[in-house]
Every structure is written in C-alpha cells, then in structure tokens.
C-alpha cells in the first residue's frame, strides 16, 4: 500500500468545496426553519385576534426569506472558513508535516510508475521533418 502525504492544499479549491457543502447544509436548515416560521405564521393568521393576521403574514414572509437567505449566508461563511482553514493547514503542514494517507488500488492492477523518458532516442535538427507515430 503506497503511502502519500498531503503537503499542501489549494486554498481556493478548498474554499469552493466548503462553500458548496455549507450551502447544501444551509438549504436543509433553511427549509426546516422556514417551514417552522411559516407554520407559526399560518397558525397566527388563522387565529385572527388583535392584529395577529398581520403578524402571521410577516412570519410567513420571514419564513420565505429564511429559505433563500440561510443557504446564501452558509455558503459565504463556508467559503471564508475554507480560505482560513486551507491557509492554516498549509502553515501547519509546512511546520509538522501533512496528513498521511494510505492508498489502495481498487481495480486489482498494481501501481506501475510511468516509463522513464528516453532523451537520446532520435535527435532531430531544427527544421527537419519529424515522424509522428499517428
């Protein structure tokens, strides 16, 4: 099993992944809270006493806004967390070493390194026609 070590991560790449992941979590949380606010608003509108209809309508509007705003807010926070987390990881990996991973090839074939280049196979002069294998 070859072991590899993650020496460095791409900060913007990590930030994009964090952003998408957190926005997906924000959709779930936003829908739950939005539906909760909308259910409370509907119950307030059904009551109809002492201006409860207006408060219920505003609660419905807040529920709809939450369904849109929470995923966007979580996505932005995830992007910022990815930037900061990636930068911290790169500093820590440079100092103490990166995360060690043990990899296994799942298709049954063993790992074969690429062939070594043959630099002196055929030397062509500038302007000379080269024979390509295709």
Task: Say how far residue 12 (Cα) sits from the centre of its chain.
Answer: 10
Q: pLDDT at residue 23 above 90?
A: yes
Q: What is the pLDDT of residues 27-60, one digit of tens each?
A: 999 999 999 989 988 888 887 777 777 778 888 8
- Residues 11, 13: Cα–Cα separation, whole Å: 5
Instruction: Supply the pLDDT for residue 109.
Output: 66
- Residues 7, 15: Cα–Cα separation, whole Å: 17
- Each domain of the chain, given as residue ranges in start order, spans 12-102
Instruction: Supply the pLDDT for residue 103.
Output: 76
Q: What is the mean pLDDT of residues 80-104?
A: 91
Instruction: Supply the pLDDT for residue 69.
Output: 95
Confidence of residue 95 (pLDDT cuts 50, 70, 90): very high
> H-helix or E-strand containing 64?
helix 52-96
Let me know: does 53 contact 45? Beta carbons within 8 Å: yes
């Amino acid at each position: 099993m070859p072991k590899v070590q993650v020496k460095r991560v791409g900060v913007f790449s990590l930030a994009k992944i964090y952003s998408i992941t957190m926005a997906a979590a924000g959709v779930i949380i936003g829908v739950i809270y939005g539906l909760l606010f909308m259910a409370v608003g509907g119950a307030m509108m059904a009551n109809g006493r002492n201006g409860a209809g207006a408060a219920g309508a505003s609660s419905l509007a807040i529920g709809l806004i939450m369904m849109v705003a929470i995923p966007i807010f979580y996505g932005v926070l995830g992007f910022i967390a990815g930037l900061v987390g990636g930068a911290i990881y790169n500093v820590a990996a440079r100092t103490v070493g990166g995360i060690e991973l043990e990899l296994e090839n799942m298709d049954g074939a063993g790992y074969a390194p690429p062939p070594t280049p043959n630099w002196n196979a055929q030397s062509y002069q500038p302007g000379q026609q080269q024979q390509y294998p295709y």
